[in-house]
């Protein structure tokens, strides 16, 4: 079974992003970029399925500017077999990404797509569900456990009340939550090997998709800042302040 | 312009996040509500009492019993032509179902909104809440999930909407519910609680979360956790507060043994009053805390329980 893993290049999770003074976006110049952490988990899961003999080939896909190649290289160093870059300068929103992925799935015919549940830049949490819809495939979102048994995927999902398990007829889309696994660090030899793996570059037009965004950014504002309050010296002082000053207990 | 809001419910009635979604939808005009599931007569009656809801659509079918995304999405798509906006709370169910609906309608969804500007423009947090984006949708129909913590819920009672049954023919879409393992708790739900007390990696072990219990009892609080505490197996996943967990905005949030990473702050920094208990006086959580106590939690928590007992 072939597995397709979409990987997004995002501002590193350790960076505290700043809103541009003119309110047109956030400052990304000179900021450290990395693979979306949930996508690392997705790649790891695919690699483990290959190590178990369930998967035969892993294709990593990233969409966006040329630099997204780096993100694909990271996936290749973790164990993906080859990469596809869908190159465009257009800002891609989940609907466009889902359409582009659908076109790639039609070409590549994977048995499973594993992706992140959420990109930590746009915080949309939408693309996997949308891809599943466009393909008419079942979806297993927010996965904390995945087992493949013949033609069925069993997915344990993190839901508001705890955990839920669903059985999906393959092919299916699975989105990774934090507890699915702990992604490996790529070893130096594997990073070297990844340089020899192929990355194919195509354009949205080659896939017959119009990637134009449907949402326009009107403005970006800084959220209200919280001020650090006071230090209390004891538990008794804390409780007294909560009772008489804050009046919340 | 009429909005349809997908409701979630349990034996106690319509869930609070869904009532917040109704409040968000009501800013635009008329609101209809959808109750979908199996054996949902009581929930439909509860929905009819929500102030601001003028009609309740009821879809009662075995295929809808577990709110699986595939049948729920085909139901919503079938109902969509009559509505300008489709709403749900940004809960596990809403986040699972609505993007699927949006794709089937060729719409770019607007996820996790924290504000309604007008029928086309919405405010949503991005980058773990470090920025608030105002976005304008060019789609004819809007598909929206609502950050419940940002909208005061409508009351549970007061309205009297008409109830209408809708017939559903849901095709098999390849998914099957196998089972659920839900956390049992007598406490209020995290996203609905007036007070939340959360433990982090500093708690050191799952059994130490018991130290939070007497305090939570006295304050009527829900218990939450940081990702690190969940990853370490101290508490179940549904305790996680943060960018990629639950978003809470209670009157009082008490963070115990939590450093205050951006991803955690994203889930609680809109709380009215924040208390931090941490032994490291440099911990970033103190930068957002109204009241900071530099102390070892293992001495502070028993003291806090005792002090509240004096009340
Ligand atoms: C993609 C992604 C998503 C994430 N999503 C979330 C999320 O939704 N929610 C979330 O919380 N995190 C999330 N994180 C993780 C986040 O970055 C932090 O790693 C996490 O919040 C740290 O948890 P913590 O504060 O409990 O642990 P630590 O950072 O280890 O802090 C423990 C604190 O406990 C204090 N402490 C230790 N012992 C004691 C004691 N005896 N008494 C008092 N204080 C003590 C220490 O001083 C320290 O400040 C995410 C990370 C990534 C990459
Ligand atoms: N530009 C992109 N390139 C590759 N994968 C993407 C891209 N955008 C989104 N994805 C995938 O979709 C997931 C969810 O993203 P989102 O719906 O934007 O939160 C991510 O974790 C990725 O797996």
As a whole number of angstroms, the distance between CA B189 and CA A160 comes to 9
As a whole number, mean pLDDT of residues A158-178 equals 98
Instruction: Determine, for residues A238 and B293 on separate chains, whether the beta-carbon distance falls below 8 Å.
Output: yes
Kind of pairing, strands A215-221 and B131-137? antiparallel
The reported pLDDT for the residue numbered B171 is 73
ipTM of model: 0.98
User: pLDDT tens digits for A102-142?
Assistant: 999 999 999 999 999 999 999 999 999 999 999 999 999 99
As a whole number of angstroms, the distance between CA A180 and CA A201 comes to 30
Closest by CA position to A81, among listed A71, A90, A89, A72: A72
Helices (H) and strands (E) in chain B — how many of each? Answer: 8, 18
Mutate which of B10, B109, B184, B298 to disrupt the A interface (most A C-beta within 10 Å)? B109
Distance B264 CA to ligand 1 centre (A): 7
Closest-CA residue, ligand 2 atom 10, reads A8
As a whole number of angstroms, the distance between CA A92 and CA A108 comes to 21
The reported pLDDT for the residue numbered B310 is 87
As a whole number, mean pLDDT of residues A185-203 equals 96
The reported pLDDT for the residue numbered B4 is 98
CB-CB contact of A76 with A55 (8 Å): no
Average confidence score pLDDT of chain B: 97
Q: Which residue has the tokens 């804050």?
A: A246
As a whole number of angstroms, the distance between CA B179 and CA A165 comes to 5
What is the nearest CA distance from A82 to chain B, expressed in angstroms? 28
For chain B, residues with pLDDT lower than 50 are: none
Q: What is the DSSP string of A69-100?
A: HHHHHHHHHHT--EEEEEE-SSPP-HHHHHHH
What is the nearest CA distance from A50 to chain B, expressed in angstroms? 24
User: pLDDT tens digits for A224-248?
Assistant: 989 889 999 999 999 999 999 999 9
The reported pLDDT for the residue numbered B294 is 98
Give the helix/strand (H/E) hosting A129.
Answer: helix A127-135
Dihedrals phi, psi of B242, to nearest 5 degrees = 150, -175
The reported pLDDT for the residue numbered B168 is 77
**N-terminal to C-terminal alpha carbon distance within chain A:** 57
As a whole number of angstroms, the distance between CA B225 and CA B223 comes to 7
What is the nearest CA distance from A216 to chain B, expressed in angstroms? 5
Closest by CA position to B276, among listed B252, B256, B297, B301: B256
- Beta strand spans in A2-135 (E): 2-6, 9-11, 33-35, 57-64, 82-87, 112-116
The reported pLDDT for the residue numbered B311 is 66
Specify the DSSP class assigned to residue A26. Answer: B
Distance A189 CA to ligand 2 centre (A): 28
CB-CB contact of B149 with B248 (8 Å): yes
Dihedrals phi, psi of A168, to nearest 5 degrees = -120, 135
Ligand 1 neighbours by CB, cut-off 6 Å: A 13, 37, 120; B 200-202, 226-229, 240-245, 257-259, 261, 263-264, 267, 278-280, 283, 296-298
């Amino acid at each position: 079974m072939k597995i397709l893993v979409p990987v997004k290049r995002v501002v590193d999770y350790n960076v505290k992003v700043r809103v541009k003074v003119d309110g047109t976006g956030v400052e990304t110049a000179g900021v450290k970029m990395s693979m979306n952490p949930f996508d690392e988990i997705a790649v790891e899961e695919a690699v483990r399925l290959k190590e178990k003999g369930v998967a035969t080939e892993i294709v990593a896909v990233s969409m966006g500017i040329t630099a997204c190649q780096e993100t694909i290289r990271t996936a290749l160093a973790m164990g993906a077999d080859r990469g596809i870059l869908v190159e465009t300068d257009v800002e891609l929103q989940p609907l466009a990404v889902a359409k582009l992925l659908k076109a790639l799935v039609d070409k590549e015919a994977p048995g499973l797509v594993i992706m992140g549940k959420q990109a930590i830049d746009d915080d949309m949490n939408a693309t996997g569900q949308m891809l599943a819809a466009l393909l008419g495939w079942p979806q297993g979102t927010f996965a904390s456990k995945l087992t493949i048994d013949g033609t069925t995927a069993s997915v344990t999902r993190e839901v508001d009340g705890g955990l839920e398990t669903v059985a999906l007829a393959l092919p299916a889309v699975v989105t990774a939550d934090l507890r699915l696994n702990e992604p490996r660090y790529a070893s130096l030899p594997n990073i070297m090997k990844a340089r020899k793996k192929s990355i194919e570059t195509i354009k949205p037009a080659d896939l017959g998709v119009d990637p134009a965004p449907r949402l326009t950014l009107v403005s970006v504002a800084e959220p209200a800042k919280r001020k650090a309050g006071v230090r209390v010296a004891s538990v008794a002082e804390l409780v007294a302040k909560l009772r008489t000053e804050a009046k919340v207990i | 312009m009429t909005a349809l809001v997908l409701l979630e419910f349990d034996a106690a009635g319509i869930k609070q996040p869904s009532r917040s979604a109704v409040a968000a939808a009501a800013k635009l005009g008329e609101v209809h509500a959808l109750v979908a599931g199996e054996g949902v007569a009581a929930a439909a009656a509860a929905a009819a009492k929500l102030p601001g809801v003028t009609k309740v659509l009821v879809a009662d079918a075995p295929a809808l019993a577990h709110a699986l995304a595939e049948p729920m999405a085909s139901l919503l798509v079938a109902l969509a032509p009559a509505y300008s906006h489709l709403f749900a709370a940004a809960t596990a169910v809403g986040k699972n179902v609505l993007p699927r609906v949006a794709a089937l309608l060729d719409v770019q969804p607007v996820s996790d909104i924290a504000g309604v500007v007008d029928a086309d423009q919405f405010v949503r947090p991005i980058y773990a809440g470090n920025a608030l984006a105002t976005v304008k949708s060019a789609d004819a129909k809007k598909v929206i999930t609502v950050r419940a913590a940002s909208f005061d819920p409508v009351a549970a009672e007061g309205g009297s909407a008409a109830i209408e049954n809708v017939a559903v023919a849901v095709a098999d879409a390849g998914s099957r519910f196998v089972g659920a393992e839900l956390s049992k708790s007598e406490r209020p739900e995290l996203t609905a609680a007036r007070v939340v007390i959360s433990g982090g990696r500093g708690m050191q072990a799952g059994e130490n979360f018991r130290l939070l219990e007497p305090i939570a009892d006295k304050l009527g609080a829900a218990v939450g956790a940081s990702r690190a505490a969940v990853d370490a197996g101290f508490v179940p996943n549904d305790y996680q507060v943060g960018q990629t967990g639950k978003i809470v905005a209670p009157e009082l949030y008490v963070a115990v043994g939590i450093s205050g990473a951006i991803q955690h702050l994203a889930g609680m920094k809109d709380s009215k009053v924040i208390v931090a208990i941490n032994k490291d006086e440099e911990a970033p959580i103190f930068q957002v805390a109204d009241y900071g106590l530099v102390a070892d939690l293992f001495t502070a928590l028993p003291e806090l329980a005792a002090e509240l007992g004096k009340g």
